[in-house]
Amino acid sequence: MPEAPALAPDDPAVTMLEAIAVSRSFDVSKPWLQRTLSRESKLLLRAVDDVSFVLPRGTTLSLVGESGCGKSTVARLAVGLYAPSEGEIRFEGQPLSAARAQPAMRRRMNMIFQDPYASLNPRWRVRDIVAEPIRAFGLLTSNADIADRVGALLTQVGLAPADGEKYPHEFSGGQRQRISIARALSSEPEFLVLDEPTSALDVSVQAQILNLMRDLQVRLGLTYLFISHNLAVVRHMSDRLGVMYLGRIVELGPGEAVFRTPRHPYTRLLLEAIPDLEMVGKSRTPVGGEVPSPIDPPPGCTFHPRCPLANARCRSEKPAHTKVASAQGDVLVACHAVEEGRDGA
């Protein structure tokens, strides 16, 4: 099995999560009888393609990219909601499937979803929503102890213990996301997957939730896998940043290195789309073209139909990851132009 890029020590004492050449395909074929009558073969959608990364304990790895690039599928793979079609995910050095089979390990990972209202049971009071993981994992048994713990969790995320008597529909979007965070923290996890937790919120509320997540990470020593399509958001959250395109990580490295000196053409185009007062009046190159279908991706580098640096090699050969040195640390870039030194950097 291919080894993951050596970007952090492969040591369970240091590494929380490790993905090794992980791929995930989904069967999107027509029903069996219809395929048999029309003599069609199975149709597979490769949502994640050969993704590798190492996530050290207490840090944040952010994955960004356009809709449909596979980042949410990686999020579900990281907590065991999906099983990899190929490759392996390890949690503290052991296969994730083995870790998920142990309740003591399972409670140490959790997920915060994009839409807080859809992820909360509208018929339950907030106190019962937050207390559910505590009861499910048997962390506390006394009703009084559980009530005290729920009150402390609500206070920790900026709500009042009395809010536990209310229902989710009585709160604003930002408050509902705080409830989701309190519920995620109630099982005392060490690893959290944040699947676009602020995309459904107003800009001012987004900043509050992001600041809360950063504060909780420092106080509780949490490890985050942060999923977003907004590069401006992840800059303030990320220790490491991975840029995904059509199921593959095309650039991966320290967050500041990727922002200051982006090497992959796709990363550069994404960064140019971020609003910046210093760029007023200057020419920008938007991300042109359409994202190809993951059912029938282009040959070679999948970004070549939209890439200004594409040549014949890009259209026929899949690029391997090239290690590029920077002041902030090594960056991996899957681009022939970078490998050949014709990216202008």
- Chain segment 221-253, per-residue pLDDT in tens: 999 999 998 887 888 889 999 999 999 999 999
Q: Partners of 111 in the beta sheet?
A: 193
> pLDDT band at 339, cuts 50/70/90?
very high
**pLDDT (tens digit, 9 = 90+) per residue, 127-150?**
999 999 999 999 999 999 999 999
Beta bridge partners of 206: none
Least confident of 137-141, 209-213, 215-219, 284-288: 284-288
Examine the pLDDT at 275 and tell me if it is beyond 80: no
What CATH number has the domain spanning 15-108+189-276+285-340?
A: 3.40.50.300
Distant-in-sequence, close-in-space partners of 339: CB < 8 Å, separation ≥ 6: 319, 320, 322
Q: In this structure, are residues 113 and 197 in contact, taking their beta carbons and an 8 Å threshold?
A: yes
Closest CA to 137 of 187, 79, 101: 187
Hey, is 124 helix, strand or coil?
coil
Helix and strand numbers (H, E) in the chain are 12, 12
- Residue 188: enclosing H or E segment and its boundaries? none
